[in-house]
């Protein structure tokens, strides 16, 4: 009997680092690292959760977001 593959519909959000964390507070740099952003113009795809949205809000002036 074949197993059905469950498809989970988790929405994602694409976050791109647009400005450097140099000269910013260490906490903002740690937030960017925890999101996986290391280089300028690097884009990562993250799950759209309240915690991710909170991190984006903390560094909104450094990143751009595509839904």
CATH number at residue 48: 3.30.1390.20
Q: What does pTM read for this prediction?
A: 0.83
Range of the domain at 30: 21-66
Query: 18: which DSSP letter?
Result: -
**Strand order across the 43-47 sheet:** 43-47, 12-17, 63-66
3 in any annotated domain? no
49 in any annotated domain? yes
| Share above pLDDT 70 across residues of the chain, in percent, rounded to a whole number | 88
Please tell me whether residue 26 adopts helix, strand or coil conformation: helix
Q: What is the mean pLDDT of the chain?
A: 92
User: Both tokens of residue 9?
Assistant: 């519909």
- Cα 42 to Cα 15: distance, rounded to the nearest angstrom: 8
Taking only the tens place, the pLDDT of each residue in 11-34 is 999 999 999 999 999 999 999 999
Taking only the tens place, the pLDDT of each residue in 46-56 is 999 999 999 99
Report the number of distinct structural domains present in the chain: 1
34 in any annotated domain? yes
């Amino acid at each position: 009997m074949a197993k059905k593959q469950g498809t989970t519909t988790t929405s994602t959000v694409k976050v791109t680092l647009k400005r450097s964390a140099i000269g910013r507070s260490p906490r903002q740099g740690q937030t960017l690292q925890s999101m996986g952003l290391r280089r300028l113009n690097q884009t990562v795809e993250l799950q759209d959760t309240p915690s991710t949205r909170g991190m984006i809000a903390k560094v909104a002036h450094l990143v751009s977001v595509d839904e």
